Amino acid sequence: MFEPLLEYLHASIRDHEGILINIPEEFKEYYSSNKNSKIQSWLWDVPGFRRWRVTRLDAGENLQVLNSVAYPNYNKDQPIMGIDLLWFGKRNKLVAVLDFQPLIQNTNYFEKYFDDFKLIKDLFPAFYNQKNMFSYEPNKYFSPWVLFYKGGIEDVSESLPSVFSLFLKTYWGLQETSNKKFKIGEKQVEELQIKYDIYSFEKDPAHGLFAGFFGKEWSERFLKEFLFPLS
Ligand code: BLA
């Protein structure tokens, strides 16, 4: 389902001089005991970033996932890049979340980084329903312009690839726009990224889902050691 987007993402990372880093075998590729579902992950070393991870889950018609988070270096205060795409085929339900995840909720910060990102939702109004967020708090590590879609695939099957590529292009563009005066100090960026991992570990609705597919022990290790190592 998300194969073309996954390929696009990896190609885009390579274009920005990303290099694959080795990760433990059990995180690289892991199967459920009945072999019906598979989870794969990649870790990239990308200039300007301290960690860029990508995960894909393939449980056939039950569920497909593409999840990615990019953590900038601590000396950059730009937002964390967050992507969470889920496709529950049997239920014809797509959940798509793409955001420049802000370290803080502050007008100067938004002015520094969100001008271009803001415009995307106007081009794709279907992806603008922040109100429907249940597990997370919309004003904690999510921006007021988060691209968020929940519903059937019919309405967005054509626009999703466009949203995805425009979103990524806009995010890469941040590297060049940070000449504004407002800045969060390095130590504070580090603290905020640590808090992001703690918060995301707590709120992530994936715990039960992972445990169901891959068992409790592996899932806890995966969440603690790979998805949110600073938690
Ligand atoms: C929702 N994410 C979800 C849900 C699941 C996952 C099962 C609930 C879907 C539903 O509505 O039924 C699954 N989360 C995962 C998986 C991974 C994961 C499989 O981290 C890891 C591989 N989530 C993120 C990131 C963002 C994010 C980076 O991991 C930000 C872009 C957002 N996921 C996000 C949001 C929701 C969600 C906003 C909706 C939850 C809500 O309604 O509050």
- Residue-wise pLDDT for 67-84, tens only, equals 999 999 999 999 999 999
The per-residue pLDDT for range 103-128, each reduced to its tens digit, is 999 999 999 999 999 999 999 999 98
Pocket flag, ligand 1, residue 67 (CB < 6 Å): yes
State the amino acid at position 112 in one-letter form: K
pLDDT at residue 59 in the model: 95
Contact 149, 131 (CB under 8 A): no
Residue 205 has pLDDT above 80, yes or no: yes
Residue 131 has pLDDT above 90, yes or no: no
The mean per-residue pLDDT over the stretch 20-25 comes to 97
Pocket flag, ligand 1, residue 83 (CB < 6 Å): yes
CA dihedral 44, 227, 65, 167 (to 10 degrees): -60
CA–CA dist 169, 163 (Å, integer) = 10
Q: How far is CA 188 from CA 76, 104, 221, 224, in A?
A: 11, 10, 27, 22
Q: Domain extents for the chain?
A: 3-186
How far is the centre of ligand 1, averaged over its atoms, from the C-alpha of 145 (Å)? Answer: 17
Pocket flag, ligand 1, residue 86 (CB < 6 Å): yes
Among 57, 67, 84, the mutation site with the greatest number of ligand 1 atoms within 8 A of its Cβ is 84
Helices and strands of the chain, counted as H and E runs: 8, 8
Atom of ligand 1 nearest to the CA of 132: 42
Pocket flag, ligand 1, residue 95 (CB < 6 Å): yes
Closest Cα to atom 3, ligand 1: which residue? Answer: 205
Is the alpha carbon torsion for 188, 79, 84, 18 positive or negative?
A: negative
Give the CATH number of domain 3-186; options: 3.20.20.30, 3.30.720.210, 3.40.50.800, 3.40.1500.20: 3.40.1500.20
| 191 contacts: CB under 8 Å, gap ≥ 6 | none
How far is the centre of ligand 1, averaged over its atoms, from the C-alpha of 205 (Å)? Answer: 6
User: By three-state DSSP, how is residue 5 classified?
Assistant: helix
Q: What is the pTM of this model?
A: 0.95
Provide the H-helix boundaries in the chain. 3-15, 25-28, 107-113, 115-123, 159-177, 186-203, 206-214, 216-221
Atom of ligand 1 nearest to the CA of 55: 22
The per-residue pLDDT for range 153-201, each reduced to its tens digit, is 988 888 999 999 999 999 999 966 556 778 999 999 999 999 999 999 9
Partners of 57 in beta bridges: 39, 65
CA–CA dist 100, 114 (Å, integer) = 8
Pocket flag, ligand 1, residue 69 (CB < 6 Å): yes
